[in-house]
Each structure stands twice: as C-alpha cells, then as structure tokens.
Amino acid sequence: MLHKGKIQTVLGPIDPNTLGITLPHEHVLIDMTKGACSAESLIEATESAKAAASVVAAGWEPGEDGPGTAATWGAKWNEPICLGNRADVARNWFYYGNYKINSIDDVIEEANAFKRHGGTCIVDQTSIGLARDPQGLRQVSHATGIHIVMATSYYTHEYHPGHVATLSIDEICERIVRDLDTGVSGGIQAGIIGEVGLSTPMHPDEEKVLRASVRAQKLTGAALSIHPGFGPDSIWDAVRVIEEEGGDLSRTIMCHVEHRLPDKPAPRSFEPEPFLRLAETGVYLELDCFGWEESFRQRGKIDMPNDAIRLNYIAALADAGYERKVLMSHDIALQHWQRKYGGHGWQHIPESVTALMRYKGFDEELIDKLLVQNPRDILTIA
C-alpha cells in the first residue's frame, strides 16, 4: 500500500523533507533495442534509430534486399562506444550499444558522482517494455545511498508487451495500480506513473494506456508523467484525454517540452508563449534534456535548444509566476551521455547548470524551488 504524504522509493517510503537535489526524469537501467540482435535490425524498430539512419552518413538504403546498411557502416554501428567513435555516436545516435544502459557498475559510478555534487534522488522513468529493472534499481540504491523512485505504465506502442493490445483500459489500470500498491519483483513498489509514451498521432493502444494511467492516478494519488510525441498537438491531445478522464493536471508532468512544445520553425523556435499557455493548465513543465548540445544532428524544423535557452524558458515561466510548476532533468537514456563514455552525466545539473543559473541571475531561492521543492512536491503521494 502506498503511504500518503510520503515519497515511495525502491527501498521503501521516505519523508519528503529528507529530499535534496532530485533528477525527476532519468533512466537508471534501460534497454531500447527491443531484443534486436544487431544495428541493422534495430533501424526500423525505434523512432530515434529511423531518424539517425535518415542521413547519408548512416549508409542506409531503405527498401533494398538484405541488411540495407553499407558493409563498412554496418560493422561500425555495431562497435562499442569508445574515444575513436564518440563524435559519430553524438552525431548519429544509431549505434546498437548506445541503446542500452545495463551495467550496474557504470550506473553506480554515475550515481556516486551525482551524490558528490549534492544529489540525493533519481527518478527512473523506465516504463514497462524498456527493460525496467526493479532489482537492479534496488542494488544501485543500496550501493550509493541515492534514493531511486521506480516508474510504472507503458512507453510508446512499439514497446508495448503483447498483452497490452488485448487488455481493457480497466485491466491495464489494475496492473499499474498493482505496481504502486503491492509492488513487483519481491515487493518493490513504483512511486510514479510514467513515462507514458505517446506518438504523433496517438496510437489507439497508447490512448488506452493513457486513460488507464489517468485512472490509476486518481486511485493512488501518484504523479502522472507523459512522454508526448513530436509537436504540440500530441501535448494538447494528452491534456484533452486527461481532462476527459477526470485526471488531475496539477499532478501531471509533461516531459520534453523544450523540443516537443515549440510550434514555430527555426529561427523562431525560441518563443515562450507556448510554454506560458501550457503552464496555464496547471501541469508541470519538465525541461529534461539538459546537457543535450546537439543542434548539429537536427532532424526537424524546430531547433533543439541548448542549456542557456532552456534556462531562458524557465526564467520566462518564473517571471510569469509559474516557477513552482517547472522541473529540470537530463533524460539520460543513451550510453554516450554517461560520463564514462564522454558524456555530461547526472552530475551535470548540480555541477554545471547551477553555475550557469547563478550567472544568469537565478537566486538561491529559485534554484532550490526548481531542484528540490518542485520534484519533492510532485513525488509526494497525494
């Protein structure tokens, strides 16, 4: 049973007042390969792999017989990440090994670095179908002393287990509630519903999962976290469904807003108006791609912001009175973002972004709200 007024971690409920700097959207352990055995077989399986393979440098020839990838590049995409290929990995995410974070030792190293910079809690938003690992999360928490909150519900329809298509909304809701109330894998309880994966347009099974997730939110008091598809229509479709189900928008997180919400093509992407309009609904706006400095791999018409632009959005929201409805994180789901493999790691926000915040005029009270109070409030079971 979930404990009202507490935060549910993989080691049990904790007092919200014990929480310090918190990352509300990360992937502690994850496997996005869908069981594909090679880079070639992964291309058609995921949204990001398709986008990465759409450039000439990937050597992909869709529609051709056979593997479809040029011989030399097929071998390259199957290499482990190392110093020699790190630049290619950043520019073309389509590296088979990049789609897995499955080393307990690597994760412990990352979590300890986060802890040394003042971090106390990580929310693992690895939903069912992305190789969620309750026992692994518990090991990492035991080894580091970092609080870890586990998620429940389902990602986008490509990752749905086969039973999702046959279950009703209420049956899916029951499974989500089970994860929250009684737990899985020996009683390890989830503490948040998400990230609920949506596509553009929303797949019928995704809508079914979203409705089930909203019903679970109403039954349990846990927060609801939404991974929208690309473009603002997906975000507003999610808001509509939540309202139709009588869900609590004030207990809902809309993820990835810095690159899913803007609706004007470059160079007019960076305008705060859509963010202020979404904030009016009461949802939490989560800017969770801190550390992504990758405009060179842009695949769409909307610019990917860097950390400075993300902070400008947050400043605009704070100036309009919405500073208590903003969350910040990294969404580290690919191996090359870990420090060990040349990335920014979980320490990036407490180590580097806070320095940039102070340089830009954020006072200590606002920084504390963004990194401590806001995630504490949304994670506390209502």
Residue set of the binding site for a divalent metal cation? 25, 27, 195, 227, 256, 331
Sheet holding 252-254, edge to edge: 21-26, 119-124, 147-152, 192-197, 224-227, 252-254, 284-287, 326-328
Return phi, psi of residue 14, to 5°.
-130, 160
Q: In this structure, which amino acid lies at residue 86?
A: R
Alpha-carbon separation of residue 343 from 29, 90, 264 (angstroms): 16, 9, 29
3-class DSSP assignment, residue 286: strand
Q: Which regions of the chain does DSSP assign to beta strands (E)? A: 7-9, 12-14, 21-26, 30-31, 100-101, 119-124, 147-152, 192-197, 224-227, 252-254, 284-287, 326-328
Return phi, psi of residue 373, to 5°.
-70, -45
Known binding-site residues equal: 25, 27, 195, 227, 256, 331
335, 337, 339, 345 alpha-carbon torsion, rounded to 10°: -120
Structure tokens at 285: 């706006």
Q: How far apart are CA 120 and CA 148, in angstroms?
A: 9
The number of beta carbons lying within 10 Å of the beta carbon of residue 380 is 22
* Residue of 213, 234, 106 whose CA lies nearest to 169: 213
